[in-house]
Structure 1
Amino acid sequence: MNSNIEMTAGAVPLSELVRRGELLSADCPSREVLKHVTSRWGVLVLMVLLDEETCRFSDLRRKVDGVSEKMLAQTLQWLAADGFVVRTSYDVVPPHVDYRLTPLGKEIAQQVSALADWIEVNLSRIMNARNVPDGESN
């Protein structure tokens, strides 16, 4: 992933924002979005929804192993509030709710998927680095 490439027309590359200090500022609104997207559950929910057209809450909970019902609901609320996820409720018994990515959500999901892919590909290197005593290099 090249941070010097603008993702959308008029977008400022992240590296430039960091140089200017906006993202590092405590009151920068992008920090809250970054927290939602890069949280453990946010990344995993985005990845599942990228692979699925739509997904029910119970399916998401089953696919994102280890997430509590409360954390999944909260994560979905954050992602929906940020415009990444659409929640569709059907007036049937029992209640039926689907979640899907918005076009903006697909863009961010592709980005976090690239990061997750990089981690998976380099996991052995990362694990080896964990085992190197402080002060030594690989």
Structure 2
Amino acid sequence: METIDDVTGTTPPWDPYARGCPSRDLLDRIGDKWSILVLGELGEHGASRFTRLRKRLSGVSEKMLTQTLRALERDGLVLRTVFPTVPVRVEYELTPLGRTLREPLKVLTEWSLRHTAEVLAAREEYDARIEQVN
């Protein structure tokens, strides 16, 4: 689906390789370590509370998870719902736009699982070569 510029009536020339392009900023957001994991977790398990997300995403700090969720909410990928209970309950879930990332992220996750051993072997080989040079 193409986005039409409201001012010019044309499709903007998005170029993620150009500095300052909004598409590059978006790739940075969805390619961020914690964003990928948050989007994957919400896509896989549905709506979740902050504490559940924090437990599932081993190693994420409270501050980083908060920043990531806010950024994803700002980008329209995650919806934050506050329930007026005592204590207040907050849940996060993917928006319809966020759900469109489920398949690409699933493919990336499957690729990483399939090729982790090869990457680890390549790292060991590289490190050994570098050690020999030093």
% identity of equivalent residues: 36
Report the TM-score when normalising by structure 2: 0.81
Larger Rg: 2
TM alignment of 1:49-128, pairs within 5 A: 49-128=42-121
Match of 1:26 in 2: 19
| Higher mean C-alpha displacement, 108-117 vs 31-40 | 108-117
Report whether the alignment pairs 1:39 with 2:32. yes
| Counterpart contact for 2:54–2:60, Cα < 8 Å | yes
User: Looking at both structures, which has the greater relative contact order when contacts are Cα pairs under 8 Å and sequence separation is at least 6?
Assistant: 1
**Deviation, structure 1 residue 22:** 1.4
Structure 2 match to 1:129: 122
Match of 2:41? 48
What amino acid maps onto 2:110 in structure 1? D
Give the whole-Å Cα distance in 2 for the aligned partners of 1:10 and 1:90.
Answer: 35
RMSD: 2.0
Task: Measure, in 1, the Cα distance between the counterparts of 2:51 and 2:109.
Answer: 23
Task: Give the alignment's TM-score, normalised by structure 1.
Answer: 0.79
Residue ranges of structure 2 left out of the alignment (5+ in a row):
4-12, 130-134
User: Unaligned regions of 5+ residues in structure 1, if any?
Assistant: 1-8, 12-19
- Asked if the contact 1:38–1:112 (Cα under 8 Å) also holds between the matched residues in 2, the reply is no
TM-superposed CA distance for 1:21, in Å, is: 8.1
